[in-house]
Each structure stands twice: as C-alpha cells, then as structure tokens.
Amino acid sequence: MENSNLPARLLQQEYFVNFLSTSPHATSPEQLSEIRKIINDTEKNPIRCFNADTKRHCGVILRVPSLLADNPQQAEEASHIGGQSNKFCRRCEAGGTHKEKESDEGYEALFAVGVLRSAGETKEVLNRQLKAAMTGVAARVEELQTQTGTKDKVTEYWIQILLKRARDLSDTNPGKTEDELVNELTEWLEAQPGDKMNPLLDIAGLDPTQDTPVEILHTILLGIVKYVWHMFHSKLSDDEQTIFVTRLQSTDTDGLTIPPLRASYMMQYRNGLIGKHFKALIQTMAFHVHDLTTPAEFQVIKAVGELGAVLWVPEINDMNQYLSDLEILVSNVLDAFSGVDPSKITCKIKLHLLTHLISDCRRYGPAIHNSTEIFECFNAVFHMCSILSNHQAPSHDIAQKFASMDRLKHILSGGYWPYKGQWIQASPRVRRLLKTDTTIQQHLGWVPPQKIDYGKVNPLAAKKRQPIDWKHTNAFSVYPGEVNSLVWNQNRSVIAQSGDTCTRGSWVTVRRKDQRSHFAIGRLHDCRFSGCKATGSRVIQQERKETSRSIPIIQHANDDNFIINTHALHNSTLLRELLPRELTQPKPFHQDRPAYHAQVARELRVVQTEKQKTTEEKKKATRERNKQAKAAREGQKSGDKGSEPSIEPENQVESHRAKKRMRVTGD
C-alpha cells in the first residue's frame, strides 16, 4: 500500500511502501472485510492527526483510488471470471462467444472500449447468481457467469452451499415449489454471518471494475513484448539465432540506462526472460531484426517499440496531444498484431486492455505511476521479516516488524504524535539522521534527492591521463583564441543538465543560445544501410579479467550513418520536445480501420474453419484407431480364453491365491 497523495517520484521508493495485512489462515476476502470496516468508518469518524506544514489539527478520510496488481489479481478484485472467458475484460463488456468475436461486428468491437462495468451492476449479477443457486440448478448459475463474465470468489463459496441445501430440501420435501424453496433459502442466507460477496464492492468511493488500471509491468513487458519476442525467436533457425545474438551484443547502450546486454544468455533462456530483459528488447530489438522477419512481423516490433517509449514517461506536459498520440499508437499495435495473427485479438486479453490505457492516463497520469515494480522489490523485505521470525506466529511477527519500521520512519521523517496533551516530534538531530546516515537510508529504502552537479567533470585516473597541447586538438579550429590553459586534459565524463553522465563518444543535445549540454541521446549505427558484418571480435571477461575466448561482434563499415533511437525510454519526453513534431508524430497504419478489421475478420473465419475441419478429421481418425485397437484387444482376449486348458475345481482356489499373492507382492 502507498499514499497516493505523494509525488509520483517518491512512490517508486521502498520507503513509502506500507504493509497492510497477511495471514496463513485468513483468506484475502476475510482480511479485506476488516480493512473495509476501517476505511468506511473514517467517513463518519475521520482519523485525527496533526498537519506538520500548517501546525494545525486535521482529520483524514481514507480513499482507495486504485487497486494495483497483475491481471489475474485485478480480475479477482473486480469479481471477474478471468481472461480466458467469453466476456474476457474486467473493465467492460467486450467479448462474446468464438462465433461472435469472429464476426465482423464482434471483431471490430475488440479494438475499442465496450460498455463499462460498474460495482452496482456486478452486485446485482451476483445476487442473481445466488437466487439461481437457491433453485438447486447449477447450470443456471454457470449460464449467468458465462453470459456476464462475473464470478466472485466469496459468492461462489455460498453458491456451492446453496446448491447442496436446495437439493437436500427438494429431496426431503418434493412438494415444495421453487418460490418456496428460494424464500426459505433467502431467509437462511441472510441469517448467516460474514460477507456474501466481494468486500471491495462495498468500500466507499471505490469501484473495483474501473479502479483497476492497466499495469504496464505485467500487461506490456510480460505481456505484449513477450508475445513479440516469442513470435520472433520461435521462427529463427540456429544460424539466424547466432546472427541476432551477435547484433544484439554489439548494441551501443549509451543513453539507454539499461544493464549490460547478455545476448547469448537471453537467447539460451529465451522462454524464461524477466522484465529487465524485455525492457532492453523493447528499446533495441527493432534495429537488429532486418532480414530475419517478414514486413508484417517487423511492423509489430516497431509499433510496440514506439508505444513503449510513450508509456514510460515521468510526466505529461500536453495531455490532449499525449492522449491523441497514445490512441494512434495503441491502434497501430492492435492492427499490427491482427495482421500477423488475427486470432490473437480474440484470445489475448492484454491486447484488448491496451484500449483502456487512454482513459487510465487521463485519470491517473503517466502509466508508470500504476506500475507494481516497487511492490515486487518490496517482497524481499517481506520475505526477510518472515525468515527472521521464529515461525511460531508468522503473521503476528511480520506485522510487528513492519509496525516497528513504520514507527521509525515516522520519527525520522519529522512526523508528530500526541504526548501529554500536545503534538510533539523528534529533535532536529534525530531527524538529521535520515539525511546524513547512508546506512539508515539503505535499510529503510530512502533515496535522497540527487543534486545535479551540472558541468562537473570526472577526470581520468592519473595513470591514464595524457595531456595534449591545445593547438593539437580538433577544438582549436573552432576556438583558436587564447584559453586559460594551453594544455588539454582528457577526462572520463561530464554531467549534463539533465543529470546524465556523458562519456567520450556520447551524443548530447546542445542549444546554441547557451551552449549547454542538456541531455544524452540514445543512438545506434545504421548497420542495415551500411552493410556492417560480424567481422570483429571481443575478448570475454570473467571477474574483470580477460580470458582466451572471444565472441564475434559487428564491425561498423563507417562512422557516418546513425539513427536516433526514438524507442529509448530514457529522456523520451525531452527528445520529442527537441525533434520537429513531424518526425515524432505517430501515423496510423490504416486510415479506414473498420474496413481493414472486416477484411481480417473474414480471413480469420476462413482460417478457423480450416482449423476446425482439421481438428475434426484428427478426432475422427483417433476414434477410428481407438475402435480398431479395442476390437483387436477383445479378439485377443477371446482367442486366449479359447486356448486356455480347463482347470480342475480344486486347483482354481490355489490359482486364485497365487494371483492374489502376486498382486500383494507387486504392490
């Protein structure tokens, strides 16, 4: 849990993540039921506290603006049946049967947001399911769940109980009408303690069907990019894999802020990559797949790279323009996927969820604010609290440890607490610890604001430093006048205005009016245009020592042709502000999208018909083989019985005992 009132830059720090509840015995709905009581109680009894800024008493009413999680968890929180159902979207009514989704109208509907769901509508559907269960007919409940896509974990528990009780009552009293049965079970259900449906549906100000924004870690990186990566590598031959690994390993990562690429590792474990690998691929993949993909597949890779650069932005300056660009980019990704595999649109919920990004960004701001990466990192803290307990009362020990940590954070960050009728805080010396003690900062997950030391030069080590006369430098032709020093010392790096560390060879932006380097640019050599080949080699290092082995790398044919990497996530906003609008403005792949979707839907129906025909033929052949095998076994048994010698009655008992002993021995 995090305080959403904090600036977004602080929400990505472990310091501001709070523990809520855990239990090896109580289910999540049971825990959420108690949390709901606390939240709803603040509507009438606000939490009394002290405003550290105004030094005045105040009250706090709790609100839950969003529920951040992966897609299965969000579907459960929204009382949705899941992404494998006919109505597969937890946010809207998009979907239908296979036949409906493959029709022109149904296929077109998957490319847009459908009729939105609501908490009130969900509660009504769940009540109808409970009423249907009171009739004792499970098929009625299943039909409602299939038609609406609404299925709740808590309600399902009561549905199973009601179905059994309804059948028992019907067997005991066959003369009871259905209405009498429903009335009796309704009275019984109301008398039972506990929630009858998802407690999140009753939290004030929260609508789980709409307050579950698209989470980009699981939906984009572990979803869309993973689809692209599988589409690409699954068709490569061994030689093509080697070519791609060489190209990827030769990537210049300057300006990308990603860890060093391990291309051979990524290809070796291509089916087990994690988020950091996909984040590197989304920024670099489009530059290395030439001659390895079809034009349609390259269009998918390019569209996903363009979308990623727009989603991973820390702030939005022009919301209207941003949403307009985002809508085109989302449409391009969906259209590109439909061009490669039309069935992906009908079965992959993560593709349809992209259409909800526009409304989420309008409401919550940049999509990275809804990322759960910080919670994934915080799991390490939770695991340590569990491991270091005595395991006698794990949930109690974990809660106590987190309460102690939160209390320490409150004291060190200058929080107030009541003491003898007044509000007090820690002394300045205590509060200063959080700013000065790096050990405490690391343990609590606090990252102090970094002061950008613009223009600071980091020199080379003394052994590597080689002074050069100014007149022998290239800069002398531009600045031939006198300078303070007649000797130029080469340095390791310089700090740009954005805080980027620019090394020798980095591309930076410089404005003419002030001649300042503002930020670093990610760029890649245009190897496709220049015809670069894998004629170079690089020595493999292990534990900072060179080995006798080497790997092939791309040897650039020239230093004249480079491409600005607009797929780079770092400084993407600054780069788009710098470049002319016509170079970065997204352009739709298809002007008449409905006509294109209708064409793809027709192709999909043909493909699906062929698949169904092939499947039926395989089933028929399998049934025929099984039938022949069964007939052969029966014929063999008949032949064995006819050839067996007759057994004397006294020997039959011994034969039976021998077989029994053999079975016991075998077990």
Question: Residue 482: its pLDDT value, please?
Answer: 59
**Confidence (pTM):** 0.87
Q: Which of 146, 171, 202 is the last residue of a domain?
A: 202
Pair (86, 141) in one structural domain: yes
Question: Residue 642: its pLDDT value, please?
Answer: 62
CA within 13 Å, CB half, 13: 17
Mapped onto helix, strand or coil, the DSSP state of residue 85 is coil
d(CA 162, CA 132): 9
Beta bridge partners of 5: none
| Dihedral sign, Cα of residue 163, residue 166, residue 167, residue 168 | positive
* Residue 487 lies inside a defined structural domain of this protein: yes
Q: Which of 580, 602, 629 is the last residue of a domain?
A: 580
Pair (541, 429) in one structural domain: no
Pair (117, 173) in one structural domain: yes
In the numeric block, which tokens belong to residue 133?
């269960």
Q: Which of 554, 575, 436 is nearest to 500 (CA)?
A: 575
d(CA 539, CA 534): 14
Pair (418, 476) in one structural domain: no
Pair (22, 136) in one structural domain: no
CB 397 within 8 A of CB 390: yes
- How would you label 332-343 residue by residue, b for 16+ Cβ within 10 Å and e otherwise? bbbbbbbbbbbb
Can you give the residue range of the structural domain that contains 407? 14-67+373-444
* Residue 318 lies inside a defined structural domain of this protein: no
Q: Torsions phi, psi of 60, nearest 5?
A: -120, 130
Mapped onto helix, strand or coil, the DSSP state of residue 22 is coil
Burial (CB count within 10 angstroms: exposed 0-12, middle 13-18, buried 19+), residue 74: buried
Q: Which of 165, 186, 202 is the last residue of a domain?
A: 202
Mapped onto helix, strand or coil, the DSSP state of residue 118 is coil
Question: Residue 643: its pLDDT value, please?
Answer: 58
* Residue 619 lies inside a defined structural domain of this protein: yes
The percent helix, strand, coil of the chain (3-state, each to 5) is 55, 10, 35
CB 469 within 8 A of CB 37: no
In the numeric block, which tokens belong to residue 67?
């529920």
CA angle 568, 571, 577 (to 5 degrees): 110
d(CA 122, CA 128): 10
Pair (555, 491) in one structural domain: yes
* Residue 650 lies inside a defined structural domain of this protein: no
In the numeric block, which tokens belong to residue 199?
């407690």
Query: First-to-last CA distance in the chain?
Result: 54
| Dihedral sign, Cα of residue 45, residue 46, residue 49, residue 51 | negative
- How would you label 211-237 residue by residue, b for 16+ Cβ within 10 Å and e otherwise? bbbbbbbbbbbbbbbbbbbebbbeebe
Dihedral over alpha carbons 574, 579, 581, 582 (to 10 degrees)? -140
| Structural domain count of the chain | 4
* Residue 354 lies inside a defined structural domain of this protein: no
In the numeric block, which tokens belong to residue 261?
């690429």
Question: Residue 664: its pLDDT value, please?
Answer: 43
Grouped pLDDT means (10 residues each) for the chain, 667 residues? 86 89 85 91 93 91 92 94 92 93 95 95 96 94 94 94 93 88 93 92 93 94 96 94 94 89 93 94 94 95 96 92 96 96 94 96 92 86 85 88 92 92 93 91 89 86 82 74 69 87 86 71 88 87 86 86 92 90 93 95 93 91 91 80 54 48 43
CB 112 within 8 A of CB 352: no
Pair (52, 170) in one structural domain: no
Residues in the chain, overall count: 667
Pair (44, 90) in one structural domain: no
* Residue 287 lies inside a defined structural domain of this protein: no
Query: What DSSP string runs through 359-411?
Result: HHHHHH-SGGGG--HHHHHHHHHHHHHHHTS-SSSHHHHHHHHHHHHHHHHHH
Question: Which amino acid, one-letter code, is at 168?
Answer: D
Beta bridge partners of 92: 116
Pair (191, 85) in one structural domain: yes
* Residue 251 lies inside a defined structural domain of this protein: no
pLDDT digit string, tens, across residues 6-51: 888 888 899 999 998 888 888 888 888 999 999 999 999 999 999 9
d(CA 235, CA 241): 9
Question: Residue 665: its pLDDT value, please?
Answer: 41
Pair (138, 197) in one structural domain: yes
Beta bridge partners of 258: none
* Residue 526 lies inside a defined structural domain of this protein: yes
What does each C-alpha distance from 461 to 162, 168, 500, 501, 545 come to in angstroms? 77, 85, 21, 17, 19
Pair (167, 63) in one structural domain: no
Pair (475, 500) in one structural domain: yes
